[in-house]
Chain A
């Protein structure tokens, strides 16, 4: 079965095995951030996190056992109510309810807080920070940063005082609490429901079928392309046979983006052809059709009551007190 000797066909340089010795690796304590290496690690982490999240989504805990439509409706309803409420205390108390539901659904406290509070602090928190100061929101002073101080540089004059105001704090607290409420609701929905079920529920609730299909496919192929990108970077890494400058790495990243985009277009064509070959005509089939159970009806009733309390909590408490 052995094939005849064809060494003569090889280019001359390939017939000589170089067998160069490997140098001794030097220990490098400081290392410039390798962008591609970091991307590889990030891709790996996204996939590992997704595997963990999938495990959580298929558990039979509190929210996981509910019908997706009920969860989507409940989340949408509570999102609207939390946006309409004018009661800070209700919003704050509602965080406790969300946290309790998260724990009952088997979510890790650290993971929940990391996905809700950190982005809220980083985005809403930073954006709303200037609003607490008297320059932006004048009002009753809670704390003076400075007062009776004047500084003029050219035509610019610093106001005589800077303070944190009660009205500013209230505005900031509203924005921040609304942000964590919205994020919390979405995180709870996404962490306890498979993506395909969320999109199907959205389809049942009136989202156009084509949009549902696009959302489904985006999620599916996002991971395929992430894996492909990981291999693409590994493929290049395996061929870096010379000392490489940072600039050359950066220029490769630019070129690789174009190359990778081309690859995705090519795959997209194949995917589209495969869909057509399997009889896809633009119609989508939605499998969520069973009626709500008593348990789900009860859950939604509680959500409605909770939403009303959230929206009119202040007025409700006042009327009870009166």
Chain B
């Protein structure tokens, strides 16, 4: 594993308003090339943490990405912000908010064209990607005319089009059928094997051992309550109950054995 730290967070907190903490005192380091999954209850701060890491919102505390401080001031430098966005790809939970172009092809070509790639090259890249995600027949389709799974594939293709080093995914398997979920897992692992760093937020415990080497758990108090291997986290019944990831009726400590 790489010795380079992709992200270093020291005492990072975030509040949407003065008396409402969304994230409190987060300390963690993620190495380049790691596969990390973020677990936690609804409203625990997973999405907020991902948005901070993606440089979309800025909390209190210290946050470094590849050794550089990511602050509101730094992101005001358009050149720096563009380089950062190119390095970090973010796939939102709601694909609708991420797809803003007129059709699927424009959507996938948006990134490459924005970073100055010649049109023909961008077109070739887009076609390769659409083949890869299996929606090459939908190039002219408008995003609102796609199914949930197709939208998710377009969103992923659009993000992959700039070949980011880090992929942040918020609930990537939510609302997907089993076949598309399997495709998603296969794709994420293939991307990891090519050297990408993955930071995935999910509720889906069955997904954890398949896509992660490390699991970070956020509690209902918006603090980090565990950081370990998927096995150690999934076998800790007390921890899973505390994080509201299983309920009392779940018999086994490891929810995977339930299935």
> Within 8 Å of chain A (Cβ to Cβ): is B86?
yes
Point out the residues of chain A lying under 8 angstroms from B111, CB to CB: 239, 241
> Within 8 Å of chain A (Cβ to Cβ): is B239?
no
Mark out the residues of chain A between 219 and 235 whose CB falls within 8 Å of any chain B CB in the assembled complex: 228, 231-232, 234-235
Expressed in whole angstroms, the minimum distance between the Cβ of A5 and any Cβ of chain B is 6
> Within 8 Å of chain B (Cβ to Cβ): is A7?
yes
- A28 and B76 within 8 A (CB): yes
Mark out the residues of chain B between 92 and 138 whose CB falls within 8 Å of any chain A CB in the assembled complex: 92, 94, 96-102, 110-111, 113-116, 125, 128-129, 132
> Within 8 Å of chain B (Cβ to Cβ): is A148?
no
- B116 and A242 within 8 A (CB): yes
- B66 and A14 within 8 A (CB): no
Expressed in whole angstroms, the minimum distance between the Cβ of B133 and any Cβ of chain A is 10
Point out the residues of chain B lying under 8 angstroms from A12, CB to CB: 128
- B159 and A239 within 8 A (CB): yes
Return the contact of A5 from the options B86, B87, B114, B193 (Cβ within 8 A): B193
Mark out the residues of chain A between 251 and 298 whose CB falls within 8 Å of any chain B CB in the assembled complex: 252, 255-256, 259, 262-263, 266
> What string of 1s and 0s marks CB contacts (under 8 Å) between A18-40 and chain B?
11111111111001000000000
> Within 8 Å of chain B (Cβ to Cβ): is A237?
yes
With A10-B190, A17-B195, A25-B80 known, 16 other A-B pairs at CB within 8 A are A6-B190, A13-B128, A16-B194, A19-B195, A22-B80, A24-B68, A25-B68, A25-B74, A31-B76, A231-B92, A235-B97, A238-B89, A240-B114, A242-B82, A255-B100, A256-B100
Interface size class of A (residues with CB under 8 A): 35 or more
Expressed in whole angstroms, the minimum distance between the Cβ of B138 and any Cβ of chain A is 17
Known contacts A25-B80, A234-B56; A18 and B193 CB within 8 A of each other: no
Point out the residues of chain A lying under 8 angstroms from B94, CB to CB: 228, 231
> Within 8 Å of chain A (Cβ to Cβ): is B17?
yes
Return the contact of B194 from the options A14, A26, A239, A241 (Cβ within 8 A): A14
29 residue pairs bridging A and B, Cβ less than 8 Å apart: A1-B210, A2-B189, A6-B189, A7-B190, A10-B190, A13-B128, A13-B163, A15-B194, A16-B163, A17-B165, A17-B194, A19-B165, A22-B67, A25-B74, A26-B79, A27-B77, A28-B77, A234-B51, A238-B89, A238-B98, A241-B85, A241-B86, A241-B162, A242-B113, A244-B82, A244-B114, A255-B102, A256-B100, A263-B144
> Within 8 Å of chain B (Cβ to Cβ): is A9?
yes
- A22 and B185 within 8 A (CB): no
Known contacts A21-B66, A240-B114, A259-B100; A3 and B73 CB within 8 A of each other: no
> What string of 1s and 0s marks CB contacts (under 8 Å) between B24-60 and chain A?
0000000010000000000000000001001010000
> Within 8 Å of chain B (Cβ to Cβ): is A51?
yes
- A10 and B66 within 8 A (CB): no
Point out the residues of chain B lying under 8 angstroms from A26, CB to CB: 77, 79-80
With both beta carbons as reference points, the residue of chain B lying nearest to A245 in the complex is identified as B78
A51 to B86, CA, bound (A): 35
Expressed in whole angstroms, the minimum distance between the Cβ of B184 and any Cβ of chain A is 10
Interface residues of A (CB under 8 A from B): 1-7, 9-28, 31, 44, 47-48, 51-52, 228, 231-232, 234-244, 252, 255-256, 259, 262-263, 266
Known contacts A1-B210, A11-B125, A241-B115; A18 and B163 CB within 8 A of each other: yes
> Within 8 Å of chain A (Cβ to Cβ): is B139?
no
Inter-chain CB contacts under 8 Å: number: 161
- A3 and B185 within 8 A (CB): yes
- B80 and A17 within 8 A (CB): no
- B160 and A1 within 8 A (CB): no
- A20 and B115 within 8 A (CB): no
Expressed in whole angstroms, the minimum distance between the Cβ of B45 and any Cβ of chain A is 16
A153 to B128, CA, bound (A): 72
Mark out the residues of chain B between 157 and 206 whose CB falls within 8 Å of any chain A CB in the assembled complex: 158-160, 162-163, 165, 182, 185-187, 189-191, 193-196
> Within 8 Å of chain A (Cβ to Cβ): is B14?
no
Known contacts A6-B190, A21-B66, A243-B82; A1 and B98 CB within 8 A of each other: no
- B80 and A9 within 8 A (CB): no
Expressed in whole angstroms, the minimum distance between the Cβ of B94 and any Cβ of chain A is 6
Point out the residues of chain A lying under 8 angstroms from B77, CB to CB: 25-28
